[in-house]
Structure 1
Amino acid sequence: MLKMTVATVVGSVAALGLIATSGDRANAQSINNGWTYQYDAVGDGSGGSQYDIKGMAMSVQGDKLFVAMTGGTPLTGVNYASAQGGSIGWGDLFFNFSGKNFNDAAAAGQLFGVRFASTNDSKVGLGVYSGVQATSVALQNSGYGSLDQYYSHSAFNKQNTQGTALATRNAVNDYYGGAGSIKNVINSGSKVSDVSLLSAQNLSAMGLSFGGGAANDNIFGFSFDRGALPGGSFMANVFLECGNDAMAFSGSSAAAPEPTTMAGAALGIAAIGGLKRARRRKQAAAS
């Protein structure tokens, strides 16, 4: 979405991977095989291990952004008769590049969202959306009315309940607001890309390897055109539909080059190669 100069494109060839930001939002990083990993606290899923998110990973490869998730909740959700739709699953993944908190970014039309779970209660179809407005489906899924309610249980009022990107309750409240509803799905937005689902086997073949207790849970992922998002530092987050657990991910990615810019860069590189070959031929003829 952002235009880049030829020099920027050439310079970014060596930095196509996703780079986690430093500072309070990313205290613990584990980078392996081109993936950037961040982990959530273990045992903070209200309702048991089937509602416990364990980790998230991202990778930029070519013109695609890949996202992987792991935890006790399958992509299709957990059967729960009294929940809307008969199951409780993953909410939508949100991206915020604005530097604002979640609600302010939404109010300014600067929030992006990805619906990747076809069985959830999102108000849009599968895909990536810009100008997103979010809404809550937590109460319809036997969940929490607010984050304050979640943290009122002493077992969950601990470090890294939303991962290292929002490591404390104060950080979580500053970003989302503690008293309001848990906005966990897209209510509206403009579709900017399709999304392709990936199995654990697909991701393993790409070098994904979650560590520790996150390695043997439900692992799945998806990819989409990275040009659907701007470049720069971002905060991403996902809640379960019930709000029983959530995770944030802090990172930074380069903007996708415009197709015409990439073509110009390729022509420039080809021209340089041609000049070098012509120079070598002249040198050979002179000798």
Structure 2
Amino acid sequence: MKKLLLLLFLTLINVSFGTPTIYTTVKPIADIVSYITGDKTGYLIPPNASPHIYEFKTSDIRKAYKSDLFIYIGSGEPKLTGILESIPENRKIKIIDIKGLKLLGEEEHEEKHIHPAVWLDPDNAVVIARFIEKKIEKIDPSKKDYYRKNLEKFVKEIRDIKEYGLGKFSHLKNKKFISYHYAWPYFVRAFGLEYAGVIEMGHGREPTPKHLIKIISTIKKYRIPSIFVSVQFYNPRYIKLIKREVSINIVYLDPFGIKNDYIQMMKENIDKIFNGLNQ
């Protein structure tokens, strides 16, 4: 009986004072949440996998259902049918619906109604973090001062990393950016670069010979030194075809932070892109 009462007491302590259980679909958003809570936040899609083709497992659905907050992008993810319907509205956050987020207009991106990697704009990361922190406060008001302190520290780090990137890219003479997959429009816009081409003709659409010729011509015309490839999305066959026709560096980027947290991921990508364009 005493053991039972002790177990019940510990359970009540966990419910009352434990950090809320939060799951996200992708790791970068989980990293942002972790900065706020001070605890590791779970995510469903492995960061080394393409979120476009990942298939949710039964265990993923269970995690999402049991979470106090389930956070998803709402664009470019696997179908969430069967997951979202089982979660009450007050326990869900759809990132692209957050007020104040700087989304690209349809005229600014290749695929209509798709918002790839919105977190690669540091200003969006701040908007996302502030919104999520308010939601976490409502779940766990006893630690709101702690969450707010963590939030402001994160915001400062984000502003520092944006200033760092802007400072580096401001010295570039050639800011034209070509990527394999259309994953970087938010980064390009945030740091004053210019998208000159994308090898993949939309998600899952392999380039035609005509399109490859156009990419090669663009590289030659503007003397673009590097192609940027997200490690999660590319077909080496087409990279090799381009390299046969033109001298070009291939720079591998990671928009999901396989081995790094959000801040580290942003800095690494800034450095790699700068070095790739500064050839």
> TM class, shorter-chain normalised?
under 0.3
Greater fraction helix: 2
TM-score with structure 1 setting the length: 0.24
Greater fraction strand: 1
Structure having greater relative contact order (Cα 8 Å, sep ≥ 6): 1
